[in-house]
Amino acid sequence: MKTLTFIAVLLLLTLTAIAQVPQGFNYQAVARNSSGDPLINQNICLKLSIHTGIAGPVVYWEKDSVLTNAFGLFTLKFGMATTDSGTFSTIAWNTGNQYLQVGMDLTCTNTYTDLGTSQLLTVPYAMYASSGAAGPTGATGAAGTNGTNGTNGATGVTGATGATGSVNGTAWGILGNSGTTLGTNFIGTTDAQAIDFRTNDTLKVRITQKGQIETYNTGNSVFLGQGAGANDNLNSRKNVFIGDSAGYSNTTGFCNSVTGYQALYSNTIGHNNTANGFGALYSNTSGFYNTAIGFYSLYSDSSGYSNSAVGYQALYSNTSGYSNTAFGLQALYSDTSGNSNIANGYQALFKNTDGADNTAVGVEALLHNTIGYYNTALGANADVADTNINDAMALGANAITNASNKIVIGTTSNTNLTGGYGNWQNWSDGRFKQNINEDVPGLSFITKLRPVTYNLNAQKMDEFLGIKQRMDTCKNTEEKNRYFQRLKEVHP
**Model confidence pLDDT, tens digit, residues 24-58:** 778 888 888 878 888 899 999 988 888 888 888 88
pTM for the complete prediction? 0.53
Mean pLDDT value of segment 442-446: 75
Residue 218 has pLDDT above 50, yes or no: yes
**Percentage of the chain lying above the pLDDT 90 cut:** 44
Element (H, E) at 487: helix 477-490
Which range among 229-238, 252-261, 431-440 has the greatest average pLDDT?
Answer: 252-261
Write the Ramachandran bin of 217: left for phi over 0, alpha for psi from -120 to 50, otherwise beta.
Answer: left
- Radius of gyration over every alpha carbon of the chain, rounded to an integer in angstroms: 56
Q: Has residue 308 got a pLDDT over 90?
A: yes
Distance (Å, whole) CA 208 – CA 12:
76
Decide if 364 contacts 352 (C-beta within 8 A): no
Largest CA distance in the chain: 168
> How distant, in Å, are the alpha carbons of 361, 390, 408, 421 from that of 382?
8, 15, 10, 17
Over residues 396-403, mean pLDDT: 92
Measured between its terminal Cα atoms, the distance across the chain in Å is 162
- Residue closest to 28 by CA, chosen among 43, 6, 48: 6
Give the mean pLDDT of the chain.
82
Query: pLDDT at residue 451 above 60?
Result: yes
The pLDDT > 70 percentage for the chain reads: 80
Assess contact for 490 and 465: CB atoms under 8 A.
yes
What would the pLDDT profile of 243-281 be if each residue is shown by its tens digit? 999 999 999 999 999 999 999 999 999 999 999 999 999
CATH of domain 3-130: 2.60.40
- Helix (H) / strand (E) containing 45: strand 43-52
Each domain of the chain, given as residue ranges in start order, spans: 3-130, 193-293, 458-490
Q: Does 237 have pLDDT greater than 80? A: yes
Please give the residue that has the higher pLDDT: either 428 or 234: 234
- Burial label for 406, CB within 10 Å (0-12, 13-18, 19+), is middle
User: Which residues have C-beta within 8 Å of that of residue 169, sequence separation ≥ 6?
Assistant: none
SS3 164: coil
**Which residues are CB-contacts of 128 (< 8 A; sequence separation ≥ 6)?**
93, 94
pLDDT digits (tens, 9 = 90+) for 351-373: 999 999 999 999 999 999 999 99
pLDDT at 420: 44
Cα separation, 315 vs 331, whole angstroms: 6
Q: Which residues contact 210 (CB under 8 A, 6 or more apart)?
A: none
Q: Residue 133: its pLDDT value, please?
A: 54
Q: Tell how many helices (H) and how many strands (E) occur in the chain.
A: 3, 26
- What is the Cα 15 distance to its own chain's centre? 68
